[in-house]
């Protein structure tokens, strides 16, 4: 998977955000009101369970305006009752009332993973976004809920919350008033082929009628590595639908032995995002530089457009378009300079309450601009994957991709027009240590076959990452 590829990630992120409005409001949960029946008043013939007693004591503290104590009481029992809807919702409400919206979002996420139609959790998630200063997601949440035609008393509450979100967003000024999201991560792993090269040291060249011995640097090299990555995303709401976005990310990856193949990169973007109850799209101008062996290797700039359409039911439509330029910095690599366009279309589908799957067809065109011996490239591929929540803290994601790349220039050395076939598979398991801290383990494998042997390679890689989101 391209470390900086955005199309599938953006689509799944928008789907996750829109999932709050994917089903009609139900009567489960009611934000801003106390439950009508106090468990403490239940019949003496039906004694309270330990959980009911805990929730009753927490409610009593909240009614006495002892919000911090209510939260601490529930937080102390989180390891026992985590994943129980009633407990997680009470914990989220207590965290929100105690001024801990970051903790509240984690609890509400667990509730919504099990009961997507939980009206109280959906409204309170929007309130938590508002408290965090994430006005764009707060506005999107309240607009989506209003589109579900809620009862009059709930509608009035949502309208008031949306007005507060709009007013708070309007008062935000860059840079300190701009809602911000970001991450920083430490990583370590092992690759069986850090230089993406064939395993054999000699290649038969038909035009020569003999074997050609490859330089040592062009033969497969395994190595371990460690690194650091991070990114930040700023979003300035313009009104109830549009927001101005900008940000970037970076990667530093150092091998333990093969320093000539250390990787690095930096990306930046600026763009516009629009979100309604039925559609979400983003257009960005992107630019960046890649590094190989701690030296500048390649520059790129592009314009990217991504779209998600929320149709009736659990299915969403996906589309992506990207076009740009690739320019190599070293003079001996400029032969690989190219202009490119990639188009993709597909769909995502929610399976049950905890899982989402997606599939896309992609076509690409890469036009040579500096006498590449293989010429122009045309590609056609498939990409499919999904994610599932195994437990409230544990999530599994996976992606499978296949692509054919055909070039149009006859290679006189190998006496063919180049044809590559590439298959890759990625899987990651993610464990939430706390609200914004996760431990992630991923594994991937890439196989590329080609009718020109110097372009064939296999690579397997595993990676352990500790990531802090903020």
Domains with residue ranges and CATH for the chain: 18-171 (1.25.40.10), 178-469 (2.40.160.60)
With tokens 């530093």, the residue in question is: 252
Among 45, 100, 48, residue whose Cα is nearest residue 72: 100
pLDDT tens for the chain, 470 residues: list them: 443 344 443 344 433 433 333 333 333 334 343 333 343 343 344 577 888 889 999 999 988 888 889 999 999 988 888 888 899 999 999 999 998 888 888 889 888 888 888 888 989 999 998 888 888 888 888 888 888 778 877 888 888 888 888 777 666 533 444 556 789 999 999 999 999 999 888 888 888 888 888 888 889 999 999 999 999 988 877 776 788 889 999 999 999 999 999 999 999 999 998 877 677 889 999 999 999 998 999 999 999 999 988 776 678 899 999 999 999 999 988 999 999 999 999 998 878 767 889 999 999 999 999 888 899 999 999 999 999 988 878 889 999 999 999 999 998 889 999 999 999 999 999 998 876 788 999 999 999 999 999 999 999 999 999 999 87
Put simply, whether the predicted model's pTM sits higher than 0.85 gets the answer no
Cβ–Cβ < 8 Å for 31, 124: yes
Go through the chain and tell me how many residues it has.
470
Distance from C-alpha of 199 to C-alpha of 193, rounded to nearest angstrom: 9
- Describe the crossing of helices 101-114 and 119-132 by its angle, rounded to 10 degrees: 150
Distance from C-alpha of 266 to C-alpha of 264, rounded to nearest angstrom: 7
Q: What is the 3-state secondary structure (H, E, C) of 197-238?
A: CCCCCEEEECCCCEEEECCHHHCCCCEEEEEEEEEEEEEEEC
């Amino acid at each position: 998977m391209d470390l900086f590829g955005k199309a599938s990630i953006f689509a799944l992120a928008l789907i996750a955000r829109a999932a709050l409005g994917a089903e009609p409001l139900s009567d489960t949960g009611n934000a801003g009101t106390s439950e009508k029946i106090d468990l403490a008043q239940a019949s003496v013939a039906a004694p309270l369970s330990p959980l009911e007693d805990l929730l009753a004591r927490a409610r009593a503290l909240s009614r006495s305006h002892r919000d911090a104590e209510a939260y601490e009481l529930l937080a102390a029992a989180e390891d026992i009752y985590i994943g129980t809807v009633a407990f997680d919702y009470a914990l989220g409400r207590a965290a929100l009332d105690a001024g801990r919206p970051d903790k509240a979002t984690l609890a509400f996420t667990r509730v919504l993973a099990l009961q997507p139609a939980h009206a109280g959790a959906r409204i309170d998630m929007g309130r938590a976004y508002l408290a965090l200063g994430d006005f764009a997601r707060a506005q999107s949440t309240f607009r989506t809920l209003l589109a579900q035609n809620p009862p009059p008393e709930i509608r009035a509450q949502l309208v008031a919350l949306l007005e507060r979100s709009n007013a708070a967003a309007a008062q935000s000024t860059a840079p300190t008033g701009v809602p911000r999201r970001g991450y920083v991560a430490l990583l370590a792993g092992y690759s069986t082929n850090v230089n993406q090269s064939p395993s054999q040291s000699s290649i038969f060249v038909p035009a020569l009628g003999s074997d050609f011995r490859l330089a040592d640097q062009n033969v497969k090299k395994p190595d371990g590595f460690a690194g650091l990555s991070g990114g930040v995303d700023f979003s300035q709401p313009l009104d109830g639908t549009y927001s101005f976005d900008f940000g970037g990310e970076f990667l530093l990856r150092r091998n333990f032995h093969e320093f000539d193949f250390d990787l690095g990169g930096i990306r930046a973007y600026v763009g516009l995002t629009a979100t309604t109850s039925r559609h979400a799209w983003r257009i960005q101008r992107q630019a960046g530089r890649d590094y190989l062996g701690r030296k500048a290797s390649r520059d790129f700039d592009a314009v990217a457009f991504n779209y998600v359409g929320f149709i009736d039911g659990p299915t969403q439509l996906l589309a992506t378009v990207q076009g740009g330029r690739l320019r190599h910095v070293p003079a001996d690599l400029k032969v690989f300079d190219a202009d490119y366009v990639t188009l993709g279309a597909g769909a995502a589908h929610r399976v049950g309450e905890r899982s989402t799957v997606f599939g896309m067809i992609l076509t690409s065109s890469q036009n040579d601009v500096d006498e590449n011996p293989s010429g122009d490239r045309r590609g056609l591929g498939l990409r499919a994957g999904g994610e599932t929540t195994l437990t409230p803290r544990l999530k599994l994601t996976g992606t499978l991709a296949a692509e054919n790349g055909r070039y149009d220039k006859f290679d006189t050395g190998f006496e063919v027009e180049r044809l590559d076939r590439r298959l890759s598979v990625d899987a990651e398991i993610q464990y939430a240590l706390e609200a914004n801290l996760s431990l992630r383990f991923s594994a991937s494998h890439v196989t590329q076959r080609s009718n020109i042997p110097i372009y064939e390679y296999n690579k397997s890689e595993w990676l352990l990452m500790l990531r802090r989101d903020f």
